[in-house]
């Protein structure tokens, strides 16, 4: 098999038993730290035999999709939608869309109150995933370790709120002193089995021991340098849960302290107000910690550079997420030369097409 040939390994979501292995066209896949990745592709159906195999293997909501490049696993997730298409020439194709394993936790809710007192925040995450997987039909094989973060939290998740587990993990991760998380896909080097494993990092996920050098001119084919101030704020207040215990009084939400970035305003930035909602938070100190974290993330315009790299000219893979790269650019804008280090927080792969090389778009943040 050619190294850049992609194929779909379709498995039963709960058992990971292989249902079929099929070729893919029009493939697009991405993966991120801090956001659920996705994959779209078309399974060509050139004859009745392949069509029958695809009909038997593809069942949205219960089919796992692993994407292999050569013998390496480059992506894994849950196939959620399928669309059979037929063109004017009678050619059939099955368009499929999938989302990373973490999307499963967006479809699971807390129906039994969960309480943690002075518990490591990683253990709270693992406890929520264990709760999801210990229910009947709920185990999809997400694995995790036992490493601590060193940060203890108090949390109560009430069954009356019926919160989504993925949202609870995101909320816990985004508080002051929080962490990053994702569910990664890889092949175990010893046994060869496919693995979906929780990855945690506090305050960030960082991978690799040596940096990757990306040059333009060189392997970097193109780049974008967006600067977005629409999400910027110099003042912030966060809303929490609404107290409905006193039926005779007006129901109002818990509010964090009003935070103002006085250093930013003194430096010349205008007053820009930001708000956020954490509707399940009932404790003042927890809500204040969310507000401080939200303001810290919004104090300056958001800049997430992206570079497009030719895969044939440099060895890259989705395992690059969290790796530090050294980006060197020299052109009319960076006339004196840019030479900075960034962390890879996202990757989007485009397989080769006629006249277009195989490329990877890397999303970066300052290291």
Q: CA distances (Å), 210 to each of 152, 189, 336, 341, in order? A: 32, 21, 26, 12
Q: Where are the domains of the chain?
A: 6-101, 108-201, 207-226+304-366, 235-298
Q: For residue 175, give the nearest of 298, 289, 297 by alpha carbon.
A: 289
Task: For residue 78, give the nearest of 38, 125, 28 by alpha carbon.
Answer: 38
Per-residue pLDDT of the chain (367 residues; tens, 9 = 90+): 344 589 999 999 999 999 999 999 999 999 999 999 999 999 999 999 999 999 999 999 999 999 999 889 999 999 999 999 999 999 999 999 999 999 999 999 999 999 999 999 999 999 999 999 999 999 999 999 999 999 999 999 999 999 999 999 999 999 999 999 999 999 999 999 999 999 999 999 998 878 899 999 999 999 999 999 999 999 999 999 887 666 666 778 999 999 999 999 999 999 999 999 998 898 999 999 999 999 999 999 989 999 999 887 777 888 889 999 999 999 999 999 999 999 999 999 988 877 778 899 999 999 8
Lookup: tokens for 120: 């490591």
**Domain covering 207-226+304-366 in this structure, CATH number:** 2.30.300.10
Query: What number does CATH give the domain 108-201?
Result: 3.55.50
Q: Round to whole Å and give the CA distance between 147 and 356.
A: 43
Q: Give, for 291, the enclosing helix (H) or strand (E).
A: helix 284-298
What class is the 6-101 domain?
mainly beta
**For residue 333, how far is the Cα from the chain centroid?**
32
CB 272 within 8 A of CB 233: yes
* Alpha-carbon 42 to chain mean position: 23
Helices and strands, counts by H and E, the chain? 5, 24
Closest CA to 65 of 85, 41, 47, 83: 41
State the pLDDT at residue 245. Answer: 63
pLDDT at residue number 209: 74
Instruction: Give the pLDDT of residue 1.
Output: 35
By CB neighbour count within 10 A (0-12 exposed, 13-18 middle, 19+ buried), where does 105 fall?
buried
Output the pTM of the full model: 0.91
Among 173, 167, 154, 84, residue whose Cα is nearest residue 114: 154
* pLDDT for position 248: 62
Q: Give the DSSP letter string of 212-276.
A: EEEEETTTEEEEE--EE-TT--SEEEEEEEE--S-TTSPP-EEEPPPEE-HHHHHTTPPP-EEEE
């Amino acid at each position: 098999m050619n190294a850049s040939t992609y194929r779909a390994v379709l498995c039963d979501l709960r058992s990971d038993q292989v249902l079929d292995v099929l070729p893919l066209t029009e493939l697009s896949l991405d993966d991120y730290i801090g956001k659920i990745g996705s994959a779209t592709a078309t399974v060509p159906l050139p004859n009745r035999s392949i069509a029958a195999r695809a009909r038997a293997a593809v069942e949205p909501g219960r089919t796992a999709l692993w994407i292999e490049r050569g013998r390496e696993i480059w992506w894994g997730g849950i196939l959620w939608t399928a669309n059979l298409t037929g063109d004017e020439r009678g050619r059939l194709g099955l368009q499929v869309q999938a989302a990373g394993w973490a999307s499963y936790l967006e479809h699971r809710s807390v129906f039994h109150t969960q309480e943690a007192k002075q518990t490591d925040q990683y253990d709270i995450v693992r406890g929520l995933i264990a709760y999801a997987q210990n229910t009947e039909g709920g185990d999809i094989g997400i694995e995790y370790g036992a490493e601590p973060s060193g940060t203890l939290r108090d949390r109560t998740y009430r069954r009356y709120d019926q919160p989504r587990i993925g949202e609870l993990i995101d909320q816990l991760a985004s508080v002051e002193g929080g962490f990053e998380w994702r569910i990664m896909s890889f092949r175990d080097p010893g046994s060869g089995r496919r693995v979906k494993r929780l990855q945690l990092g506090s305050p960030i996920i960082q991978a690799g021991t040596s940096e990757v050098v990306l040059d333009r001119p060189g392997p970097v084919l193109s780049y974008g340098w967006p600067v977005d101030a629409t999400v910027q704020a110099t003042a912030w207040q966060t809303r929490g849960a609404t107290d409905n215990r006193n039926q005779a009084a007006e129901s109002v939400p818990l509010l964090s302290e009003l935070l103002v970035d006085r250093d930013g305003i003194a430096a010349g930035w205008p007053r820009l107000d930001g708000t956020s909602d954490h509707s399940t938070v009932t404790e003042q100190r927890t809500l204040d910690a969310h507000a401080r974290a939200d303001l810290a993330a919004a104090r300056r315009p958001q800049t997430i550079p992206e570079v497009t790299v030719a895969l044939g000219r440099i060895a890259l893979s989705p395992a690059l997420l969290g790796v530090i790269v050294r980006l060197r650019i020299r052109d009319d804008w960076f006339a004196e030369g840019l030479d900075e280090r960034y962390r890879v927080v996202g990757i989007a792969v485009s397989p080769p097409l006629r006249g277009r090389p195989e490329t990877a778009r890397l999303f970066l943040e300052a290291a």
